[in-house]
Structure 1
Amino acid sequence: MFRKKTLFILGAGASCELKLPSGEQLIPLITNFLQLSRNSFDLEGNKELIGYISDMHNNNYAGLSIDPATKAVYSPNQLIETVQFLRRALPQAISIDNFLDAHKSDKCLIFLGKLAIAFCILSAERQSALFKKETEQLTIKAETIKDTWYDKFFKMLNESVSTDNVDDIFSNISIISFNYDRCIEHFLYLSIMNYYKLEPEAAKIILSKLQLYHPYGQVGMMPWHKSGFAARFGGSDHIRAEQLLNHAAQIKTFTEREHDPAFVEQMQRAVMHAQTIVFLGFGFHPLNMELIRPKNSVVNNIFATGYRVSSANRIMLQQETRDWLSRDDRLPVHIYDLSCADFLRDFERPIRFG
Structure 2
Amino acid sequence: MSEKLTVFVVGAGASKEYGLPTGAELKTQIHAICDIPQVGLTNTRPDPEDDWLLSIIKEMILFDGIRSQDAGNLPNKIAAKARLINKYVNDAWFIRDNILLSPSIDNFIHTHRENPRIVKLGKALTRKLIAEAERKSSLYVDDASLQLQLPVNEIENTWLFALINCLLEAGDFDEFLDRLARVLFVVFNYDRCLEQFFKYYVVSYFRLGPKDKNRLSAALKIWHPYGSLSEANPFSSVEAFIRKAKSEVPFGQTDNDIGYLLWDPIKMFTETEGFEGLRREYRDAVIDSIEKCDQVVFLGFGYHKQNLRILSSYDATNDCDVWGTCLGLPKYETDSVQENLSQIFCGGSKDRVRLINASASDLVAEIGKLL
Per-residue deviation, 1:125: 0.2
Matches within 5 A, 1:1-354: 1-39=1-39, 41=41, 47-58=51-62, 60=63, 75-137=84-146, 138-199=148-209, 202-221=212-231, 222=237, 224-225=239-240, 230-235=248-253, 238-246=255-263, 249-258=264-273, 261-263=276-278, 265-266=283-284, 267-298=286-317, 299-325=319-345, 327-329=347-349, 332-350=352-370, 352=371
CA distance in 1, matches of 2:269, 2:172: 40
Contact 1:305 1:338 in 2 (8 A): yes
CA change 1:81–1:324 in 2 (3 A) is farther
Deviations 1:227-263 (A, max 9, x none): 9962111015x332222223xx111123432287142
- Aligned mates of 2:64, 2:209 — CA distance in 1: 37
Amino acid at match of 2:118: L
Q: 1:53 to 1:296 in 2, by over 3 A?
A: same
CA deviations on 1:68-119 (whole Å, 9 max, x unpaired) are: xxxxx99212212221221122112222222223333332211111100000
Q: TM-score, normalised by structure 2?
A: 0.82
Report the Cα offset of residue 289 of structure 1: 1.1
CA distance 1:62–1:13, change in 2 (3 Å): farther
Q: Which secondary structure does the structure 2 equivalent of 1:334 belong to? A: strand
For residue 142 of structure 2, give the secondary structure of its aligned residue in structure 1.
Answer: coil
Q: 1:204 to 1:144 in 2, by over 3 A?
A: farther
RMSD in angstroms over aligned alpha carbons? Answer: 2.9
Shift of 1:328: 1.4
Partner amino acid, structure 2, of 1:133: D
Aligned partner of residue 106 in structure 2, secondary structure: helix
Letter in 1 for 2:33: F
Q: Which amino acid aligns with 1:206?
A: L
| Aligned residues of 1:307 and 1:336 also touching (Cα < 8 A) | yes
1:197 CA displacement: 1.6
Instruction: Check whether the contact 1:306–1:338 (CA below 8 A) recurs between aligned residues.
Output: yes
User: How far is the alpha carbon of 1:310 from its aligned partner?
Assistant: 2.4
1:263 and 1:223 map into 2 onto residues whose CA distance is 15
Q: What's the CA shift string for 1:313-335, capped at 9, x where partnerless?
A: 21221002123347212560000
1:100, 1:228 → 2: CA distance?
Answer: 31
Query: Normalising to structure 1: TM-score of the pair?
Result: 0.86
Give me the identity figure in percent: 24
The match for 2:73 is none
Partners of 2:330 and 2:316 in 1: CA distance: 28
Provide the rounded CA distance (Å) in 2 between the counterparts of 1:259 and 1:141. Answer: 36
- Does structure 2 retain, via aligned residues, the 8 Å contact 1:34–1:116? no
Aligned residues: 339
Unaligned runs of 5+ in 1: 65-72
> Is the CA contact 1:2–1:157 (under 8 Å) kept in the aligned structure 2?
no
Conservation of the 8 A alpha-carbon contact between 1:218 and 1:251: yes
Segment drifting more, 296-305 vs 262-271: 262-271
Map Cα deviations across residues 154-195 of structure 1 (whole Å, 9 max, x no partner).
111112330344443421000000001000111011111121
Q: Which amino acid aligns with 1:48?
A: W
Cα displacement string for residues 49-72 of structure 1 (whole angstroms, at most 9, x for unaligned residues): 1222333434x26889xxxxxxxx
> Where do 5+ consecutive residues of structure 2 fail to align?
68-80, 232-236
Shift of 1:6: 0.3
Local SS of the residue matching 2:322: strand
* Separation in structure 2 between the aligned mates of residue 21 and residue 258 of structure 1, nearest angstrom: 25
